[in-house]
Amino acid sequence: MFNKRIGIDLGTANSLVWVAGQGILLKEPTVVAVRLDDGQVIEVGTAAKEMLGKTPGNIVASRPMRDGVIADYRVTEAMLRFFIQRVCGRVFLFKPEVMICVPAGVTQVERRAVLDATLAAGAKVAYLIDEPLAAAIGARIPIANPSGNMIMDIGGGSAEAAVISLGGVVVHKSVRVAGNKIDESIVAYMRRRHNLLIGDVTSEAVKLRIGSATVLEPVEIMEVKGRDNVTGLPRAIAITSTEITEAIRPTLLQIVGAAKGVLEETPPELASDIIDKGIVMSGGTSMLRNFDRFLTELTGVPCHVAEEPMLCVVRGTGIAIENLDLYKKSIVRR
């Protein structure tokens, strides 16, 4: 009763923390600022994100998660410790039990790295749950029934498609292409087409403001500021939503490829269930305008975005840690 149970959605772009009995207590960007001379972590979350691309030589602001997995172990451990201390207090007598979700397609080495980092950050016990399963639980899909449900979880670092039946993942495909790659494709397009260098923060703002998976009517226009690649001087240009749709289309097609791959491998009985129920989309990138319509056009299966798609995974992780006995088949414990 004294142990806190914590569920963490450790995303590439954003991290969310759920505490059993209290709900979501923390939502922060997955960014850490580190001082280079002594390796000291100086900021985590929103404050660190504001430093991206603006730091002096002795400070580096970076994302310790890449493509849904740990890219920098030491910094990830410091970030997890920060999250645990934020919800438990800086001094706690009883170590919490912590559940973290990981992409279904990660290797055993990557899974062990997450478990080790969680224990090193102060957890008494560490649990892992597959992200598509957590997203399905959080989207309130009845996963225990003997019928097929398809979930598409599209975050910042990876996109995952999975068919779930009887409480387990039947077929899954994971591509390490998602929101961050969409931002990169906008950066590359601006450099190639307009000779304008922009940063990740600007490209994300463009995506949120005028980005769309299909051509918008009427066309929307936005002013973008950056550095001219030829003269090296600051410059501002106007770009249209149609250009952004063209820029991000190849990346979106890779994400759709994961959904098609899963549908091709799904057993026929489950496939008929999916045609009836459709594909549920979760994750921050699923909120890109008209993405559900784009996915429906290319797969022929009706798609709809879950309610509060960004919260599905953390909500599912929280429900799983509150009901460990119900989901013990689907959880790895350390």
Domain annotation for the chain: domains and CATH numbers: 5-133+313-333 (3.30.420.40), 142-177+249-309 (3.30.420.40), 179-247 (3.90.640.10)
The whole-number pLDDT of residue 330 equals: 80
DSSP string, 152-171: EEE-SS-EEEEEEETTEEEE
pLDDT at 107: 87
Predicted pLDDT of residue 204: 94
pLDDT of residue 2: 66
Q: Is the pTM of this model over 0.85?
A: yes
pLDDT number for residue 164: 94
pLDDT in the model for residue 285: 94
Q: Which residues of the chain are modeled with pLDDT < 50?
A: none
Q: How far is CA 195 from the centre of its chain?
A: 30
